[in-house]
Amino acid sequence: MRQYRIKEYDYGTHKNYEVQRKLIFNIWFNPDNADASTTGIYDTLKEAKDVIKTKLRKIKTKIIYIN
């Protein structure tokens, strides 16, 4: 099951790409536009693919205790 997809919008003179994430019940939404601070729409397919790679990357966390 795929978690992310890229939706292409073809306007005739140019194309835009939107990154979407799948929720339960097969509902797709744009996770980058959840707070309306970024649009989540990109000018090239490469930019959209790079965003997905960044989102799928595991983040290393570490707890630091201060005495």
Per residue in 11-66, pLDDT (tens digit) is 999 999 998 888 888 888 888 776 666 677 889 999 999 888 887 777 788 889 99
Domain region containing 27? 4-56
**Per-residue pLDDT tens digits for 3-24:** 888 999 999 999 999 988 888 8
Beta pairing partners, 16? 9
Task: List, in order, residues 6 or more apart from 8 with CB less than 8 Å away.
Answer: 15, 16, 17, 45
Number of domains present in the structure of the chain:
1
Q: Examine residue 44 and state whether it is found in any structural domain, yes or no.
A: yes
Q: Examine residue 62 and state whether it is found in any structural domain, yes or no.
A: no
Closest C-alpha among 13, 11, 12, 18 to residue 45: 18
